[in-house]
């Protein structure tokens, strides 16, 4: 039997940075690698958020957020954002994260992100110690020239895939095509 943490066999996983508005009006940033598309109609993305986190509290009070796809060069920032709590630290100010206005929600996106989903909480499912937030996608912003209809162009950019702890991986830009 496998003796490691069960989820490690499902890693590495793409990492997003959730920007949420908190009860006191401040913004909070949290990296999350437990995320996945759920449905095309309605367009939804799910993210698992531990119920002990400040992000959970923020999403319960304000139902809009942005899910930001950072470049691999942000691995250090991602790790730092996940190493402190927004209850004690204004993460954007503390780590010098620039934010830019969103178009459809009142929560900004992360400047320098490759893409940002503007989302609203659609459903919430409690599963053990986490809440699975299913977000309805209201809009998507993409940096110019980094993606096409098939997704990111990994010959131009790369995204951080979180392994465990401080370990992040890159996407190999050489695709593997299945036989017809």
pLDDT digits (tens, 9 = 90+) for 97-147: 999 999 999 999 999 999 999 999 999 999 999 999 999 999 999 999 999
Single pTM value for the model: 0.95
The reply to whether 174 falls in a domain is no
- Report the domain count for the chain: 1
User: Hey, is 31 helix, strand or coil?
Assistant: strand
The reply to whether 116 falls in a domain is yes
Q: pLDDT tens digits, residue range 69-101?
A: 999 999 999 999 999 999 999 999 999 999 999
The reply to whether 180 falls in a domain is no
Q: How confident is the model at residue 6 (pLDDT cuts 50, 70, 90)?
A: confident
Domain range enclosing 42: 6-169
pLDDT at 109: 98
State how far the Cα of 97 lies from the Cα of 113, in Å rounded to an integer: 11
The reply to whether 177 falls in a domain is no
SS in 3 state form for 54-80? HHHHHHHHCCEEEEEECCHHHHHHHHH
pLDDT at 71: 98
Domain of 84: which CATH number? 2.30.110.10
The reply to whether 68 falls in a domain is yes
The reply to whether 44 falls in a domain is yes
User: Hey, is 8 helix, strand or coil?
Assistant: helix
Q: Which residues of 66-100 are buried (b: 16+ CB within 10 A; e: fewer)?
A: bbbbbbbebbebbbebbeeebeeeebbeeeebebe
């Amino acid at each position: 039997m496998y003796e490691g943490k069960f989820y490690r066999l499902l890693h590495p996983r793409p990492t997003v940075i959730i920007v949420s508005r908190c009860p006191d009006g401040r913004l909070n940033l949290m990296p999350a690698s437990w995320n996945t598309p759920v449905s095309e109609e309605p367009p939804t993305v799910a993210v698992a958020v531990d119920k002990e986190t400040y992000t959970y509290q923020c999403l319960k009070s304000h139902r809009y957020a942005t899910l930001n796809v950072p470049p691999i060069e942000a691995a250090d920032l991602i790790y730092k954002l996940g190493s402190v709590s927004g209850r004690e630290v204004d993460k954007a100010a503390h780590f010098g994260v620039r934010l830019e206005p969103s178009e459809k929600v009142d929560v900004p996106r992360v400047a320098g992100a490759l893409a940002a989903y503007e989302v609203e909480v659609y459903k919430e499912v409690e599963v053990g110690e986490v809440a699975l937030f299913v977000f309805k996608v209201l809009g998507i912003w993409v940096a110019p020239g980094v993606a096409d209809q098939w997704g990111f162009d990994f010959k131009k950019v790369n995204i951080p895939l979180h392994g465990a702890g401080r370990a992040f991986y890159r996407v190999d830009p050489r695709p593997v095509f299945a036989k017809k």
